[in-house]
A and B are shown apart, each in its own frame.
Chain A
Amino acid sequence: MDRTYRVMVIDDEESARNLMKAAFDWESLGMEVVGEAASGIEAINTIDEIKPDIAFVDISMPFMDGIEFTKLATERYPNLIIIIMTAIDQFEYARKCVSLPVFDYMLKPVVRTEVTEVLERAGNKLAGMDDFWEAIADKDGATEGDNPTESIKKYVKENFTDPKLNLAFIAQNFGFSASYLSRKFKADTGKNFVEYLTDIRMTKAIGFARSGYKMYQTASAVGIPDPNYFGRCFKKYTGKKYSEYGL
């Protein structure tokens, strides 16, 4: 075991996320919880920076549920180990999505011995593999003639309302590796991709806020249809709550 594996918990209940973080002896598993998200929307916006090897995904989440997120994630991060968490009454729904290449399904409430067993198997699988986030970075070496940054900026300006937009998506669409694109973008614009995207969205959101739109409406309009996550982004960006802004 030459590195500590990175774990991300995606669940809409804070207590559930906290339980996941606290209930396991991550260190002895050779793992570390490096990030969490309260919705599929938030996960899409943050996963490129968190760079997890393993993701726990709850099925029942508002705005974008676990199934939808898993579909997206298996496309964009084919090597990501996804463990689905589901309450008994949604197990059938989850089973319908069994065609998705997920690592395992786990029933809630959490039983630690079961989860530990699954994590050990995941650890064994990862031991035979390179860190795919790094592997992508090694592969780049791209020296395209045209500078893609401008066209990416243009694309983002036109499509920022798409809630599924993120670095991995852009990289796939423009034919680069994510880590190369990230470095290149920062070098060209002085901002990293997420900062750039947030910038555009928040600038727009401030305008909506001034016009008196409700927060959930603005959130949806700028491509972050989870108003809770949007609210946090907005406060972080402007230093003020959305509700205070319009006044």
Chain B
Amino acid sequence: MFSKIWKSLFTSKKRLSLSTGIKNVMVGTMLVVTASFLLSTYVVTINERKDFSKRESESVIATLSNNIVSEIDKYKSLSRLIMTDDSILTFLRSDVSRVDISMINDARYGIMDILNVTEGVDTVMIFREDMIMATTNRFSYKYDSDVLNGEEWKKDIYAGMGKAVISINSNGIAHKLEHKPVVTIGRAIYDIDSQKRTGILLMNISGTAFSRLLDNLNYSDICIMGEDGSFIAGNSEYVDLFEDEFLSTETTHKNVRVNKKLTLLSGARIENTPIVVMRVSPYGMAGIPHRMIYILVFLLFVIILLTACIGFYIRLNITEPIFELSNSMEKNRQCGKLDKIEVPVPNTELEMLENDYNSMIDHVNELIGKLVEKEKNLQKAEMRVLQEQIKPHFLYNSIDTIGYMAFDAGAKNVHEALETLGSFYRNFLSKGEKNIPLSREIWIVKDYLSIQKLRYGDILEDEYDISEEATSYIVPKLILQPLVENCIYHGIRPKGEKGTISIKAEVIDEKLHLSVKDTGVGMTQEQIEKIMTTQKGEEEDIDSESFGLWGTIERIRYYTGVEDVVSISSEIGEYTEIEFTIPNLSYPAGE
């Protein structure tokens, strides 16, 4: 799943810009860092707190154990003191026949004398080998005579060979009234002189002795118990939390809920005793490793700052310069000129990119140059083919030959018509020149009209008023012929009556004024405006009737470089007059 996210981050279908990518990566890094920081802080805090609580519990339990052991040691020495008391020795050494109440009482008083110096001892029981007993506090105990008369309870005491053996509740032979808990120190008694076993001593230490110990140490969260789970001292609420695991002398820890709060339960058995100490400690603030968290927060800050710095650096040194480069390339493309670009870039890699682009521009320009050259050559070749196709000489010679044949056959009019046609084509082609003297253009028109008269019969007359100065004026070839053609097809013929075409040329203020007038159907104001205002590129708006006229006007505009070269005047059903004003151009714009 993670690899999926990773993939989608770096190979997503929608391609991101580098700057957006960097922003995403930065934000992602910050998020990941912050999240892992929080997670690790949390884990560390929890662990530290747990360890802290454990350590605390262990030390508390150890301290308490030491205290209990030394407390018990105190009673142990007390029990040795009792063993060596004269009244006790007498009681133990006497023959059974000599033992009487007074001897037992002596023994009891002897014990009590010793016990007077201390608190906490509830009772002391001394059994002779024949089970005659001297005891204090006899009536606050209830004896279990079955156990008492058996041998079982003596075994571990005998095994101690005179050493103190700690047990719970009188080693099972008796229990205190109201089941108050006691800790019992048991010893086998050996005679000092004969080294023969003479009896057993049991000393019961009351639970309150331990309670007092706890009070002195100010422990309220401790419960002292017997290894059988019976309560001895401390907080009795924890009795139910007892588990067999705590019988180990090593401290064992568990998480338990006390009053719905998660708390640490620790417990251990005190070595060589059947006493278990349990401690319950809630997890508090005490365990939180504040210093460590401060360090982590500082690190987090440093990382975020570093990420931001890296992002800024990348933007300043990579994305921004790339944008600038791209912008100047785009400008280059839009203006259409393929110039080299000059953008200051901050590092060598981008400089490399810029140089590569510039050398590509060089290469492209070179290629374009070659292409243009090739295209020019191609055009020249095509022109030659075209000229070959026209083959004017063949045409003229054929016309001449046919003309002669007609002349020879007496068809004078055919000869004249062919002569006119030959003249028309000679001027029309004009050796491929673009600009010709006005006189030659007038000849083209005259020939054209005489041929048209042959075709359509007697439908028009033509008049010319050309000033001497105007004849040598250089004009674009075919400036008049299309206008005259227009006069016939869109002026005179639609009228159905014989018409007149008048052509006038004069030079005023070094400008040639050229006018073509026909007595045809005329043009509406709208038609005139349309022709005058239509721009290049919108010519599809013009109807086919006006197209020739518009095209001629465009050509003259192009030739002169002036927009305002033409005026059209007309009256419907009467006439149309088109007048051009052509400045004398030494270097015509069309060349």
Q: Tell me the smallest distance from the CB of B114 to a CB of chain A, in Å.
A: 143
Inter-chain contact A243/B496, CB cutoff 8 Å: no
For A12, the chain B residues whose CB sits under 8 A away are 456
Q: Tell me the smallest distance from the CB of B59 to a CB of chain A, in Å.
A: 109
Segment touching A, from B38-46, B128-136, B240-248, B487-495 = B487-495
How far does the alpha carbon of A12 sit from the alpha carbon of B493 in the complex, in Å?
A: 11
* Neighbour of A228 across the interface among B454, B455, B496, B573, CB < 8 A: B496
For B494, the chain A residues whose CB sits under 8 A away are 62-63, 216, 227
* Neighbour of A13 across the interface among B455, B495, B573, CB < 8 A: B455
For B456, the chain A residues whose CB sits under 8 A away are 12-14
How far does the alpha carbon of A227 sit from the alpha carbon of B498 in the complex, in Å?
A: 11
Interface residues of A, count at CB 8 A: 17
Inter-chain contact A215/B457, CB cutoff 8 Å: no
Known contacts A216-B521, A217-B573: A231-B454 contact under CB 8 Å = no
Query: Counting CB contacts under 8 A, is A53 at the interface?
Result: no
Inter-chain contact A214/B454, CB cutoff 8 Å: no
Inter-chain contact B457/A216, CB cutoff 8 Å: no
How far does the alpha carbon of A63 sit from the alpha carbon of B573 in the complex, in Å?
A: 17
Name the residue on A nearest B457 (C-beta): A14
Query: Counting CB contacts under 8 A, is B73 at the interface?
Result: no
For A15, the chain B residues whose CB sits under 8 A away are 454-455
CB contacts under 8 Å to A, within B515-551, are 521
- Residues 289-331 of chain B, each 1 if its beta carbon lies under 8 Å from chain A, else 0: 0000000000000000000000000000000000000000000
For A243, the chain B residues whose CB sits under 8 A away are 497
For A215, the chain B residues whose CB sits under 8 A away are 495-497
Inter-chain contact A219/B496, CB cutoff 8 Å: yes
Name the residue on A nearest B498 (C-beta): A243
Q: Tell me the smallest distance from the CB of A78 to a CB of chain B, in Å.
A: 30
Residue among B455, B496, B521 facing the most chain A CB atoms (10 A cut-off): B496
Inter-chain contact A216/B455, CB cutoff 8 Å: no
- Residues 40-64 of chain A, each 1 if its beta carbon lies under 8 Å from chain B, else 0: 0000000000000000000000110
Interface residues of B, count at CB 8 A: 12
Query: Counting CB contacts under 8 A, is A36 at the interface?
Result: no
Q: Tell me the smallest distance from the CB of A175 to a CB of chain B, in Å.
A: 36
Interface of A is mostly: helix
Interface of B is mostly: helix
Q: Tell me the smallest distance from the CB of A209 to a CB of chain B, in Å.
A: 13
Name the residue on A nearest B497 (C-beta): A215
Query: Counting CB contacts under 8 A, is A176 at the interface?
Result: no
Query: Counting CB contacts under 8 A, is A193 at the interface?
Result: no
- Residues 473-515 of chain B, each 1 if its beta carbon lies under 8 Å from chain A, else 0: 0000000000000000100011111000000000000000000
Q: Tell me the smallest distance from the CB of A113 to a CB of chain B, in Å.
A: 19
Inter-chain contact A227/B573, CB cutoff 8 Å: no
Name the residue on B nearest A219 (C-beta): B496
Inter-chain contact B497/A62, CB cutoff 8 Å: no
Q: Tell me the smallest distance from the CB of A112 to a CB of chain B, in Å.
A: 17
Inter-chain contact A62/B493, CB cutoff 8 Å: yes
For B496, the chain A residues whose CB sits under 8 A away are 215-216, 219, 226-228, 230-231
For B493, the chain A residues whose CB sits under 8 A away are 62
Name the residue on B nearest A213 (C-beta): B573
How far does the alpha carbon of A63 sit from the alpha carbon of B495 in the complex, in Å?
A: 11
Name the residue on B nearest A12 (C-beta): B456
How far does the alpha carbon of A12 sit from the alpha carbon of B455 in the complex, in Å?
A: 9
How far does the alpha carbon of A63 sit from the alpha carbon of B496 in the complex, in Å?
A: 11
- Residues 219-231 of chain A, each 1 if its beta carbon lies under 8 Å from chain B, else 0: 1000000111011
CB contacts under 8 Å to A, within B324-371, are none
Inter-chain contact A227/B455, CB cutoff 8 Å: no
Residue among A15, A215, A217, A228 facing the most chain B CB atoms (10 A cut-off): A228
Q: Tell me the smallest distance from the CB of A18 to a CB of chain B, in Å.
A: 11
Name the residue on B nearest A14 (C-beta): B457
Inter-chain contact B573/A214, CB cutoff 8 Å: yes
For B454, the chain A residues whose CB sits under 8 A away are 15
For A216, the chain B residues whose CB sits under 8 A away are 494-497, 521, 573
For B489, the chain A residues whose CB sits under 8 A away are 62
How far does the alpha carbon of A24 sit from the alpha carbon of B495 in the complex, in Å?
A: 34
- Residues 1-40 of chain A, each 1 if its beta carbon lies under 8 Å from chain B, else 0: 0000000000011110000000000000000000000000
- Residues 446-471 of chain B, each 1 if its beta carbon lies under 8 Å from chain A, else 0: 00000000111100000000000000
For A231, the chain B residues whose CB sits under 8 A away are 496-497
How far does the alpha carbon of A227 sit from the alpha carbon of B520 in the complex, in Å?
A: 12
Name the residue on A nearest B454 (C-beta): A15
Name the residue on B nearest A16 (C-beta): B455
CB contacts under 8 Å to B, within A53-88, are 62-63
Q: Tell me the smallest distance from the CB of B398 to a CB of chain A, in Å.
A: 14
For B495, the chain A residues whose CB sits under 8 A away are 214-216, 227
Name the residue on B nearest A15 (C-beta): B455
CB contacts under 8 Å to B, within A167-218, are 214-217
For A63, the chain B residues whose CB sits under 8 A away are 494
Q: Tell me the smallest distance from the CB of B35 to a CB of chain A, in Å.
A: 74
How far does the alpha carbon of A145 sit from the alpha carbon of B497 in the complex, in Å?
A: 48
Q: Tell me the smallest distance from the CB of A35 to a CB of chain B, in Å.
A: 19
Q: Tell me the smallest distance from the CB of B420 to a CB of chain A, in Å.
A: 15
Inter-chain contact B457/A227, CB cutoff 8 Å: no
Q: Tell me the smallest distance from the CB of A172 to a CB of chain B, in Å.
A: 30
How far does the alpha carbon of A88 sit from the alpha carbon of B521 in the complex, in Å?
A: 29
How far does the alpha carbon of A215 sit from the alpha carbon of B454 in the complex, in Å?
A: 24
Q: Tell me the smallest distance from the CB of B307 to a CB of chain A, in Å.
A: 70
CB contacts under 8 Å to A, within B188-229, are none
How far does the alpha carbon of A227 sit from the alpha carbon of B497 in the complex, in Å?
A: 8
Q: Tell me the smallest distance from the CB of B516 to a CB of chain A, in Å.
A: 20
How far does the alpha carbon of A165 sit from the alpha carbon of B51 in the complex, in Å?
A: 115
Q: Tell me the smallest distance from the CB of A244 to a CB of chain B, in Å.
A: 12
Name the residue on B nearest A60 (C-beta): B489
For A13, the chain B residues whose CB sits under 8 A away are 455-456
Q: Tell me the smallest distance from the CB of A64 to a CB of chain B, in Å.
A: 12
Residue among B455, B494, B573 facing the most chain A CB atoms (10 A cut-off): B494
Residue among A15, A63, A214, A243 facing the most chain B CB atoms (10 A cut-off): A214
Name the residue on A nearest B493 (C-beta): A62
How far does the alpha carbon of A15 sit from the alpha carbon of B414 in the complex, in Å?
A: 13
For A226, the chain B residues whose CB sits under 8 A away are 496
CB contacts under 8 Å to B, within A229-245, are 230-231, 243
Q: Tell me the smallest distance from the CB of A98 to a CB of chain B, in Å.
A: 20
Beyond contacts A13-B455, A219-B496, A227-B496: 13 other A-B pairs, Cβ-Cβ < 8 A, are: A14-B457, A15-B454, A15-B455, A62-B494, A214-B573, A215-B495, A215-B496, A216-B497, A216-B521, A216-B573, A227-B497, A228-B496, A231-B496
Residues of A whose CB lies within 8 Å of any CB of B are: 12-15, 62-63, 214-217, 219, 226-228, 230-231, 243
Q: Can you list 21 A-B pairs, Cβ within 8 angstroms, ordered by A?
A: A12-B456, A13-B455, A14-B457, A15-B454, A15-B455, A62-B489, A63-B494, A214-B495, A214-B521, A215-B497, A216-B495, A216-B496, A216-B497, A216-B573, A219-B496, A227-B495, A227-B496, A228-B496, A230-B496, A231-B497, A243-B497
Q: 6 tightest CB-CB pairs across the interface, nearest first?
A: A227-B496, A214-B573, A216-B495, A228-B496, A216-B496, A13-B455
